[in-house]
Structures are given as C-alpha cells and as structure tokens.
A and B are shown apart, each in its own frame.
Chain A
C-alpha cells in the first residue's frame, strides 16, 4: 500500500535527481527561460524604439502599425479565421470533405429534436432578460436608501459569484426527486409533500422542465441587473426627483416619468448583455439535463453534434445560426451607445 502511494511521486523525482548528477543541470531550463525572455524583450524594445524614432513622415503610420498590428493579427487569427472556417464547414459533410450546400441547415429545420432546440432557445431569450430585469429593477427600487442596503444588495448579487455549473448542481439538489412513499431529499419536493401534493420530476417533465432550468439563469442574472440599476437610480439628480415631488407626482408617476427615463441607458446595456449570455447558455443545460427530455438549446446541441457525435458540419451550422441570432443584439447595443455619445 505504501509503495502504491509513493510510486508516482518517486517516479517524478527520479529523473530530476539523475539529471542533476549527470552532464545537464536543473538550472539549464531557467537559464534558457531567462535567455528567451531577454531576447524577446530586446526585439520588442527595438521595434518600439524604431517606431518612435522613425522619420516624421511615416511615424504616425509606424506607431499605428506597432500598436494596432498585434490586436488586428490576433483578431484575424482568433476571430475572423475561425468564423469564416465555421461558415465554410457548415456547408460540408461530417468528414469536412464533401460539399453538401445547405443540407445541414435543412436537417436542422426538419429534425423535430433540433426544431425543439431552436424553440427552446427562443423561450430562454424571451424570458430570462425580461424576468431578470423585472426582478432586478423591483428589488433595486425597493431597497434604495433602505436600512442595511449593502447587505440586502450583496445577498442578491451573490449568485453572480457562483459559476453556472456550481449553480446548476445546487439547483439539481433543490429539484431532486424521490418516490412519494419515500423520504424526499429535494427541498422543493419536500415542500410539495408538506402541502399535500405528489412529488414532481421537475427536470424530466417536458415542457415545464425548460422553465425550471430558466429559473437558475434568472437566479444568477437578477443580481447583475439589480446592481447596475441600483447605481443608475442613484445617478438620477436629486433636483429632478424633488421637482417631481413638488409637482405632486405619486410613486408610480415618479417611477414612470423620472426613474425609468433616467435609467434607460443602463436598461439597454443590461437587457442586451443578459440576452447575449442567454443565447449562449450551455453550462446549465449540460449540467442539469445534458440536453435530454426536450431541454436542449443551440449552444448545447452545437457541442454535442460537433464533439460527441462527430458531426462538425451540423455543429458548425448550429454555430452559424447562433452567430446570426446574437448579431442584431450586438449591433443594437453599439448603435444605442453611439447615440448616447452623440447626446453627450
């Protein structure tokens, strides 16, 4: 038993020791590292120096090239190339060799399970942003200037700090099911039993299971919406609020005519950010149902098709659809931000 535990450790150490006493030394690696870093710094330093010292005529261009060049290069390698390659792959078969035109897209809309996936994604993106904004905004308004505001805020913000997978595991325990004659171990089913109902299979019964997954996402995102709105509400000038009060506006009118216009910018940012996050949702579905029982969404299906079922053509087609769905939201976001800049 002792040997079993020590085996891997001694194996790792032996090469180091033997290397130490033979011709090569352990510090060789570090010297190599230091040398490499030094050369790298020198080369980059010289390039930057030359850019700075280049003739006046081309200096602006040289500097632009040196500073923007790497980002553009990385964008090309890390974004443009994969995007183009994905689009091309989506028109090929599973081996990536035979051109099949739009048949991967046709497969998508003719396969009932994939149609279900597309519908689910739409349901997610309709519900999550709206619900998160509604809960976040309501909470932000009700606790504004309340006693213990920081504590109340942190409580709702805390789920943001939990990873999606962690949150999914927590909620899986909440939804856990045992037969009605056995003792329940999931909180929600225990409550149902206490109230005299039958325990439910929250994650198995379609179509409601999708909504029980969506709750997890709302639970996470509400904190984000709440914090942004809370800050925006505090940013509304006091004079305007006082003026509204003097004019005799009631709470609803104040909210409708003062608060809401004051936080419009934040609202757009929160809505679009959560929408994009929701379109890309993967972890929750993967962890809680694996995309089974009619709960799959595009990102999950894309992964399954590409890496588990080895159908990169179909996976790429799904990726392209996801990209097309995210695009208008991003464009809208940028346009609104530009407009706001113009106003300022």
Chain B
C-alpha cells in the first residue's frame, strides 16, 4: 500500500512540474539559426557597397515603432537583406524608451536601437557608455546627406554616435480650403495676420452653432498635454529665434523668463480665449478633455477652421479617406513667423545608435543612413526623412512633399522638439502637466515656476 501511494504522489507532482517545465522551456525556445541564401539576386545594384555575408549574420534592431509603421520598416530593408545575406530581426516595443537604458546596462541591448529622441540617446550614451561611435562609413553618409543641425543631434561631446533616420515637421495649421475660400480668407503670412484672420472668423455673422475659429485637443492618456508643448515650442522659436530656443531646451533660459512667458502669452491669446476655442466641442477647458487627434474633426463639420498639428496628422485615423491637397478636403500651411517668409520650423525624428561594430551591424547602419534607404522607406508612405538625397516626389501626400522640401531647404532653421531634449522630469512630466493645468485655469506664473522647480538639479 505504501509504495502505491508513493507512486501516485510521484505521478501527480510529476504532472505539475511538467506543466511548469513546459512554460519554462517555451520561453527559452526559438532563436534557431536562420538560413538565407546569399546568392546574388536581381535588383542588387544599389547594395554592392554593403558587401555580401556568407555566414548569414543576424542583426537585431529595436525601437518604439509598431503596427503598420513597423511593417513598412521591415519592408524597407527586405531587398537589402536579400542582397547582403544579413537577416535583420526587428522588435517593436512601445516601452522601448523605458527599457533601453536597463538593457544597455545589463548587456542585453539589441545590435541597433532607433532612438526616438536625441535626449534619450544622450542619456544612454552618458550613463552606460555602451553605445559605440558611428563608424566612418556612417559619418561619411551623415556629412553627405544631412544638414549640420541634424548631425548635431546625433553628436555628443564632439563624437558622432548616431545618424538621423526619419523625421516629422511640426507647426502646420490644418484647414479646409473650401471653408477658407467661402470666408474669403487668404493664407496668413505673419502671426499678426493669423490673429487678424482669427478675429474676423470669430466675429463673422453667419457662423454655425458652436463655431469657434480654432479647435484643439490635449488629451493623450498618460502623455496628455504634449500637443500644447508643440504649440509653445513653435512660438518660442518664432518669437525669440533659435538661440533662445536652444538655451531654453538646455535649461539656461528658465520657463519663468520674459522670453518664454511671451511665447506662452502668444499661445494663450488663442487657446485661452473663449471666443476663439474650442470649435465644435465646447469651452476653453474642453481642450483638455478632447483627444488630440480627434479634435481636428470639427473642421469637416464646419464648426472650426484652424487646427495646429504636425505633418504626421495625415497618417492619423481621424483623417482617413480625406483628400489632403490644396483643393481637397483638408490642407495645411506652416505657422507663420513675426515677419513674412520666416523659415524656422520645429520637428522630430529618430536616431540610429549601435551597441557594437560587427561588420554586419555596420553594414545595416550604413544602409539606414543612405539615400537609398530614405527613398525606399518614404516610397512606402506615411513618413518623411530629412535626408537630402530623398526625392520629394516619393512622398505620399502634398503635405509630406512640402515637409521634405522644408527639411531639405538650406535656408531652413530646423530645431528639434525641445521637450524631447529636456530631462524627462520636465519634458515628459511637468511641462505636460503644466500645459494641462494652464488650460484648466491655473495662473501662468504658478505654472511656469512649478515647471522650473521640477527641473532636476545637476
């Protein structure tokens, strides 16, 4: 009897640990060798410089990019993989920003990371020292294809670490061409004209119910408030010029300074004026409760005329199926400066940093910094790049095409999204909440000093 009991006990425990074992082994499986033929394939003329690898190396890339954008990314290097024999393993992860630092410290970083902000690249470089300087072939590409502004964002203490990848241009004012035509309003060329147009629209006698000239939304889940930081950045750059902008982004010019206050006041003239906002939705406070991308919808209903948003608005589902062109459903003009023909714009983009300099990693990095890649990716739609070798005709919409031209124009003063360059406690924290509180009725002074006091010491 004794041994029967023992056996039964053994079987049941075995079944239990077996189940656990299944889970454990399931986690560690995968990662078997990939094999792909490195034989020359047709259409490899552009890829000769990257060499061919007969040992079929793997290169792991990770970034925040997921879904359709990730599929397009993978497509953009399919031909490269075929021609070089390199297999690129891409992982898109929405928590990339919070994980890459730990991965780098723990030695589990991918071969290549696409950093969505130069600030993050800098903090990974400075705290871990695991990012390797860009190889010569990449530096050569950067010098050839990118402007000095863009090179600077991937350069830390004089060493070039990363080449730019894609880009977006911020500060577009979206409108309905038919609406503006009916109102007899021309595209404003200065900020004063913009305000005069706004006033004319607000006081027009035949406005529909609930109409206000501007519509805006700050709601974006945990990141609520970021669309407002874009507004402020645009005004700081246009009212104070690039030098003040740089000092502000690095923390030497305080939020509570006259320059930055001027920018807040300029934005507040629109966003805090109950006669100017929030078209089709409600009062000033309703800006906070409106989802940022959905807030553009009232333009189509005729209850709002202007919406401030970046070039990537075109890829948002709120604009799906809309004809975005000069005479279509929607179009956009660049937020003007104090003078006509101002040429300062803000924007954002990704940066390609590597954690080793294996030949295959270098080849992928070099390819991603080339004009070949930029054209391949932009052709697939949805994004643009500041790469000077990019043919604007490859852009998928007139706005994208216009953005590419702005980025490639040697006269353009480009500045990277300042909140991305600020420490996370400000750029992803108090600046966002400050905007939300300001819209919600807190006084400007209290908001600005709260942001200043949250700036980390050292």
For residue A201, CB closer than 8 A to chain B, the reply is yes
Among listed A35-43, A149-157, A234-242, interface-contacting one: A35-43
Interface size class of A (residues with CB under 8 A): 35 or more
- Smallest CB–CB gap between A308 and chain B, Å? 5
B24 within 8 A of A: yes
Q: Which residues of A contact B278 (CB under 8 A)?
A: 179
Asked whether, in the complex, the Cβ of B25 is within 8 Å of the Cβ of A32, the reply is yes
Q: Are the CB atoms of B286 and A41 closer together than 8 Å?
A: no
Whole-angstrom distance between the Cβ of B198 and the nearest chain A Cβ: 18
**Is B210 in contact with A179, judged by CB distance below 8 angstroms?**
yes
Q: Is the CB of A308 within 8 A of B6?
A: no
A247 within 8 A of partner (CB): no
Query: Is B75 among interface residues, defined by CB-CB distance under 8 A?
Result: yes
Verify if B200 is at the interface (C-beta below 8 Å from A). Answer: no
Contact of B32 with A201 in the complex, beta carbons under 8 Å: no
Q: Which of A166-198 contact B (CB under 8 A)?
A: 176-182
Chain B residues contacting A290 (CB-CB under 8 Å) are 221-224
Check B10 against A29 for contact (C-beta < 8 Å).
Answer: no
Interface size range on B against A: 35 or more
Give, as a whole number of angstroms, the nearest-CB distance from A31 to chain B. Answer: 11
Indicate with 1 or 0, residue by residue over B215-237, a CB within 8 angstroms of chain A CB atoms. Answer: 00000011111000000000000
Q: Shortest distance in angstroms between A86's beta carbon and chain B's nearest beta carbon?
A: 16
Contact A18 B280 (CB under 8 A): no
Binds A, one of B14-22, B350-358, B395-403: B14-22
Q: Do A178 and B75 have beta carbons less than 8 Å apart?
A: no
Q: Are A177 and B286 touching (Cβ within 8 A)?
A: yes
The answer to whether A179 and B25 touch across the interface, beta carbons within 8 angstroms, is no
B26 at interface, CB cutoff 8 A: yes
A255, CB-defined interface residue at 8 Å: no
Q: Is the CB of A48 within 8 A of B283?
A: no
Cβ A7 vs Cβ B75 within 8 A: yes
Q: Which residues of A are found within 8 Å of B35, using beta-carbon distances?
A: 15, 18-19, 22
A204 at the interface (CB under 8 A from B): yes
Known: A33-B22, A40-B18. A179 touches B29 (CB 8 A): no
Indicate if the CB atoms of A179 and B18 lie closer than 8 Å. no
- Given A37-B21, A292-B437, A293-B288: A310 in contact with B36 (beta carbons within 8 A): no
Q: How far is the CB of A326 from chain B (nearest CB, A)?
A: 24
Roughly how many angstroms separate A143 CA and B380 CA in the complex, as a whole number? 62
- B93 contacts partner chain A, Cβ-Cβ < 8 Å: no
Interchain CA distance A18-B87 in the complex, whole Å: 13
Query: In the bound complex, how far is the Cα of B13 from the Cα of A286, in angstroms?
Result: 42
User: Which residues does chain A contribute within 8 Å of B283, judged by CB atoms?
Assistant: 179, 201
* A320-B370 Cα distance, complex, nearest whole Å: 50
Contacts of A44 in B (CB 8 A): 13-14, 17
* Complex contacts, A286 vs chain B, CB 8 Å: 221-222
A interface residues, Cβ below 8 angstroms from B: 4, 7-8, 11, 14-15, 18-19, 22, 24, 28-29, 32-33, 36-37, 40-41, 44-45, 48-49, 52, 94-95, 113, 176-182, 199, 201, 203-204, 286-287, 290, 292-293, 304, 307-311
Other A-B pairs, 16, CB within 8 Å; known A28-B32, A178-B281: A7-B75, A11-B74, A24-B32, A44-B17, A49-B6, A95-B127, A113-B433, A176-B289, A179-B278, A181-B209, A182-B210, A201-B289, A204-B288, A292-B440, A304-B222, A311-B425
20 contacts between A and B (CB under 8 A): A7-B74, A14-B36, A40-B20, A40-B24, A52-B9, A178-B281, A179-B210, A179-B282, A182-B209, A201-B289, A204-B440, A286-B221, A290-B222, A292-B433, A292-B437, A307-B98, A308-B429, A310-B423, A310-B424, A311-B425
